[in-house]
Amino acid sequence: MPENNPIAVRDREIRDVINHLKKRHNKDYISDFIFRNYWVINYYNILKRVDSRPVDPELASIAYRKVMNDEYFNL
């Protein structure tokens, strides 16, 4: 069941946080929030179904570019 799948739970948590932020803040705030928060920056590994690893600058940069290109707003 998806409820018991930790990856599905984490995906849902990410969507919930982004949707919450979209209601209250602009894109710059959201991109800063994502840049500051480890588990959101690490979404790249989660969505690719890879075990979480320490954040590296390249993945953080990918996350930042996706935010600035509105890709998070389509979750």
Q: Which amino acid is at 58?
A: E
Record the pTM.
0.39
**In whole angstroms, what is the distance from residue 17 CA to residue 30 CA?**
10
Number of structural domains found in the chain = 1
Q: How far is CA 39 from CA 1, 25, 62, 63, 72, in A?
A: 23, 19, 14, 11, 14
Is it the case that residue 51 has pLDDT exceeding 50?
Answer: no
14-46 confidence digits (pLDDT tens): 677 777 777 777 777 777 776 666 655 566 555
Phi, psi of 69 (to 5 degrees): -95, 15
Domain with 27 in it = 2-74
